Amino acid sequence: MAHALLILGMAGVTFLTRYLLIALLGRWSLPRALSRWLSYVPTAAFTVIVVRGTFAPQGEVTLDPCNPYLWGALAAGLVAWRSKNVILTIAAGLGGLWVARVVLG
Amino acid sequence: METMANSANTQLTGGGACEFRRGVRAALPLWLGITPYGLAFGLLGPAAGLSGQATLAMSLLVFAGSAQLIALGLVGAGASPLLVVLTVLVVNLRHLLYAASLAPRLGKLPQRWKLAISFLLTDETYAVVIDRLERAGNGALRYFYLGAGLAIYVDWAASTAVGLAIGGLVPDPTVLGLDFALPATFIGLLAPQLRTRGAWVTLAVAALATLVLAGLPGRLDVFAAIIVAATAGWGVDTWLTRS
């Protein structure tokens, strides 16, 4: 299996983050500044994935306004903002992408 | 025996088997939220270049929804395995927060319990168990935890497998635009997070850094953008609360 090392590495570090403090049973707690910093990591990571998927769907960054993925992202963003519903957001993103592909050729 | 040790909680908590079932029941509503991600992960794994086996193995062994989806995005973008593992580590560091808050409440645990409880620790397990703690206290909490954690694990694995099966019926995911389902999912996950100015700063800096740094070798741009953006957002909120 080509990705065996990748999966084992991911499983290893993930388990470590879970086990470390359970093993220590509360004898050590995270510094407050670090725990506050960590709460911004998901927002940052999600944004990176969105921006890459939108502006570099084929790997190269493009700022072309005729990029249909850009319009899919705008539709998804609008629906996410109004509804806070993930399923509706995915539907809007794919719908926006399809419409943009037809309209922009 | 140990399950009934805390007599103050005997009216609110039952024996081990009973608490296990309570945990399973408490986790069932969360299937609604978890299943779409499992389906998406199973569907998108092969689109990012993972085999069906590797996709399922990742759900069975890693069991971390957002980290797995982020890993797919990175693998699809050609990141090196080391960078994917590093990013997964940073994304999952929040488990430290959960473990730090739960560990003192679980009492003295034998090693095999510690291993099981650690493996099953997710955002969802934490949410269900903390809710239980606030209602009923610590009695037999480990059995409740085990029930909730396993219910979530089974759903995650099963929905990944179903997603894989559905994906097998679609020949080329990019034709249907399914490669955009993953970014769209994250747009949906971002919306509720944007509650502070710092969160907006994180979003803006992450977007800008991704575009400016694009092309660094081994997808180092992704890792750098996450660190810089999280630090910027944290800095702004810290500064705003001080002044």
A3 and B CB contact within 8 Å: yes
Q: How many A/B residue pairs have CB atoms within 8 Å?
A: 280
> Which positions in chain B touch A41 (Cβ < 8 Å)?
90-91, 93-94, 226, 230
- Same domain? A43 vs A93: yes
Which pLDDT score is estimated for B224?
87
- CA-nearest of A11, A3, A33, A87 to B118 is A11
Asked if A76 and A88 touch (Cβ cutoff 8 Å), the reply is no
- Same domain? A51 vs A99: yes
- Same domain? A52 vs A96: yes
Q: Is residue B58 over pLDDT 90?
A: yes
Segment A23-36 mean pLDDT: 75
Band of the pLDDT at A29, cuts 50, 70, 90? Answer: low
> Which positions in chain B touch A39 (Cβ < 8 Å)?
94, 234
Q: Is residue A1 over pLDDT 70?
A: no
Band of the pLDDT at B169, cuts 50, 70, 90? Answer: confident
Q: Determine the structural domain holding residue A6 and report its residue range.
A: 1-30
- Same domain? A16 vs A43: no
> Which positions in chain A touch B75 (Cβ < 8 Å)?
3, 6
- Same domain? A24 vs A72: no
A18 and B CB contact within 8 Å: yes
More reliable by pLDDT, B238 or B11: B238
Lowest mean pLDDT among B18-27, B74-83, B229-238: B74-83
- ipTM confidence: 0.86
Band of the pLDDT at B229, cuts 50, 70, 90? Answer: very high
Domain count, chain A: 2
- CA-nearest of B36, B73, B194 to A90 is B36
pLDDT above 90 coverage of chain B, percent: 44
Q: Is residue B131 over pLDDT 90?
A: no
pLDDT above 70 coverage of chain B, percent: 91
Which pLDDT score is estimated for A62?
87
Copy the structure tokens of residue B173: 């995911």
Which pLDDT score is estimated for B11?
44
- Same domain? A45 vs A72: yes
Which pLDDT score is estimated for B63?
97
Each residue of B184-222: pLDDT tens digit?
A: 888 987 888 899 999 999 999 999 999 999 877 656 777
Report the C-alpha gap between B242 and B159 in whole angstroms. 45
Copy the structure tokens of residue B54: 């590797």
Q: Is residue B231 over pLDDT 70?
A: yes
Copy the structure tokens of residue B116: 């099981």
A55 and B CB contact within 8 Å: yes
- Same domain? A21 vs A55: no
Each residue of A65-101: pLDDT tens digit?
A: 999 999 999 999 999 999 988 778 989 999 999 999 9
Copy the structure tokens of residue B185: 């999912």
- Same domain? A97 vs A67: yes
Segment B114-135 mean pLDDT: 88
Which residues 71-100 of chain A have a CB within 8 Å of chain B? Answer: 72-73, 76-77, 80-81, 84-90, 92-94, 97-98
Which pLDDT score is estimated for B8?
41
B29 and A CB contact within 8 Å: no
Each residue of B136-152: pLDDT tens digit?
A: 777 788 999 999 999 99
**Per-position DSSP letters for A27-92, written without gaps between them:** SS---HHHHHHHTTHHHHHHHHHHHHHHH-TTSS----TT-HHHHHHHHHHHHHHHH--HHHHHHH
Which pLDDT score is estimated for B117?
94
Asked if B41 and B71 touch (Cβ cutoff 8 Å), the reply is no
Nearest to A73 among B62, B183, B192 (CB): B183
- Same domain? A45 vs A95: yes
Q: What's A3's DSSP letter?
A: T
- Same domain? A26 vs A44: no
- Same domain? A10 vs A61: no
Is B233 in contact with A8 (Cβ distance < 8 A)? no
Is A52 in contact with B88 (Cβ distance < 8 A)? no
- Same domain? A86 vs A44: yes
> Which positions in chain B touch A64 (Cβ < 8 Å)?
none
Band of the pLDDT at B9, cuts 50, 70, 90? Answer: very low
CB neighbour list of residue B88: distance below 8 Å, 6 or more residues apart: A9, A10, A13, A14, B62, B64, B67, B70, B71
Which pLDDT score is estimated for A27?
65
